[in-house]
Structure 1
């Protein structure tokens, strides 16, 4: 069983798997379809698993696919990140709102992000290995990038006065007002 907590944005869930530990180590179910559906009220057909490794200060995102949108189940198996999602569903009362949580190998929490959201994260540890399940395949022709520092969204990244390390794609992210969004 997993414990599930709503974030300030409905449909985005923080999931806490049950961990069985003793002197030998620990065991947890990283994914159980029945428990996921009971916790979130959603059926998800995951078709792709992704793994990224990044160093401290790397900021990846805020990414989304305008066609073939992806729901994502995010977890960290090494290190610590600040994980952010932004609601890009124009019909939602939470359009343009963001939420952020710390995911780490220590807390073993997971974040469920449904389709219609941009996603990104900032690495807080020396390195971080992030795994995520996706409900649709990666389609680079449909990938879009919301500017990580768009003032209208106002994500409060824990940068401690440092500039993040960004890819060229992330440096070219667009303001929310210029982004293609979902109905």
Structure 2
């Protein structure tokens, strides 16, 4: 499998955003205020209103999404989303929390978890997030323009599961978040964990 760009028009929204407009090859997505993806843990609520543009991701393949980190409100977020069903999914990317962009992932298997690490130097820059399916796992990596990919997470994912994946964004705390997505691609999965 070679690297293949995915047309924005080939995806289907899990939940429609306020708008999604193509501009010079990019996709500008305006998120609905209060949109989010989370299940139970610590907060006790279920949010299932993220804006994800998905298509099927085969076994032994990787999905990549590139976007500009232009976040300023608590929990503004974008990245890549892999969905099996309502209770089994992974989102990974950059989320604005506690005054800084944070690189992280949420893995949900009935209930959600969350891990983040601050990346304040990524503000205003283009970030690419890659999620690779291989065997019984998904390996998530991310890179900021001109730098090598770094490992974000290794998470379980049953082999043979039907997975739909693509770019996502959410705006849990405000209206007016616009995320500029630059690329959506499918490629070979990463060959190793490190």
Determine if the TM-score, normalized by the shorter chain, exceeds 0.5. no
User: What TM-score, normalized by structure 2, do the two folds share?
Assistant: 0.31
Structure showing the higher strand proportion among its residues: 2
| Structure possessing the higher relative contact order (Cα contacts under 8 Å, 6 or more residues apart) | 2
Structure showing the higher helix proportion among its residues: 1
User: What TM-score, normalized by structure 1, do the two folds share?
Assistant: 0.32
